[in-house]
Amino acid sequence: MNEFDFIEKLRRRVEDGISSASSFIPHPSSLVQGIGDDAAVFKSLAGNDVVISTDLLVEDVDFRPDTTRPDLLGHKALAVSLSDVAAMGARPLWALLSIGVPDAVWNSEFLDGFYSGFFELASRYAVTLVGGDVSRTPDKIVIDSILVGETTKAGALFRSGAAPGDQIFVTGFLGDAAAGLRLIERGARLPSRTTARQPAQANPEAGEHHQLEYLLLRQLQPEPRVGWGLLLGEQQLASAMIDLSDGLSSDLNHLCAESKVGALIDAARIPIDPLVTELSGRRALDPLMLALHGGEDFELLFTVKREMVARLPARVDGVSLTHIGEIKEAVHGVLISEGSRTWNLEPGGWEHFKEARGKT
């Protein structure tokens, strides 16, 4: 059983429970979306949707203290949740942080740096830290980032709204975060003086040193697409949306499964960062594989009805948009074409329990 099977099993168990629940007290608010999307959603009495996401980051699984910095980790803990809330078309509002650290970390500068990075990103989106929990751990740092957001009355955007004929788009460039991770695995490190803020787009004219740094930061300090999510939600331009945390191949499959549709995307249209292509050549990496299966780009993948496509802006906050394919009937499956060839796009993104999958 991998984690997606597990979540699906949990969802069925909850849905069975809801239909047979003994009602303690009738609920004044109603659940719109439970397990199975980027965030949970319930409708407030005022008619707007409240969304809540939670993301667990574990030392030596999701990050390594020796290859990142406390401030970048604080940034990333909030960024992954901002990306979830953006993928619901919602505005981020309130954050909670549960954090567990060993004694040695408690007595270090770690938490100061961590919260500096967290607050720096939070202030950019006027997100307020409203609560959390602090605990000791025996030896590893664990962080659970919880974020509450709200939509306009128009409501949230789900993974499940795509229909055949809808056009498929992604924001920004793909493969950067995976390339950054490969570089880190091969020993690349940020210089300690690197400024925390990265440019919205890489500069291909910059020297290799700066290009490397840019890709490392795309992995260590991802920029969630808050502006895009908010615009698509408020104007209801997308029929379905998901953020690219597991990788395009996995996340497109998730979206299609929830919408009960298939898809055809064109490999030539996938916006691979020119920096990734350039650096990959010299390092025997395959840029298309990084863009398809590398996770953690935290770009948005969404579908748009044909007649709405003309209303899409070209850029939001300097981040571009690329048309990569079309939603098909479920019977076609999830496909990718490369020149004259077409094949099934199997989920190849990152799963925590992938190694365990064969055993159960």
The nearest distance, CB 7 to its own copies, in angstroms, is 7
Within residues 48-77, the interface with its own copies by CB under 8 A covers: 48, 50, 52-62
Among the candidate windows 65-73, 154-162, 196-204, 350-358, which touches its own copies by CB under 8 A? Answer: 350-358
The DSSP secondary structure of 174-205, one letter per residue, reads BSHHHHHHHHHHTT----TT--S---SS--TT
Among 10, 200, 268, 309, binds its own copies (CB under 8 A): 10
Position 99, amino acid: I
Query: Among 93-101, 268-276, 291-299, 334-342, which window interacts with its own copies (CB under 8 A)?
Result: 93-101
Q: How far apart are CA 216 and CA 94, in angstroms?
A: 28
User: Rounded to 10 degrees, what is the CA torsion of 314, 52, 199, 215?
Assistant: -110
Whole-angstrom distance between the N-terminal and C-terminal Cα of the chain? 5
- Considering only residues 174 through 233, tell me which ones interact with its own copies, judged by CB under 8 A: 230
- When asked if residue 22 is in the footprint of its own copies (CB under 8 A), the reply is yes
Residues 245-274 that bind its own copies (CB under 8 A): none
Angle (nearest 5°) at CA 307 between 303 and 308: 55
Q: Rank residues 58 and 335 by Cβ distance to its own copies and give the closer one.
A: 58
User: Binding segment for its own copies among 31-39, 199-207, 259-267, 340-348 (CB under 8 A)?
Assistant: 31-39
Residue with smaller CB distance to its own copies, 5 or 329: 5
Phi, then psi, of 321 in degrees rounded to 5 = -130, 145
* Total site size for its own copies, rule CB under 8 A: 84
Which of 8, 111, 194, 196 lies at the binding interface for its own copies (CB under 8 A)? Answer: 111
The residue among 178, 150, 168, 137 whose CA lies nearest residue 294 is 178
**Residue 108 lies near its own copies (rule: CB under 8 A):** no
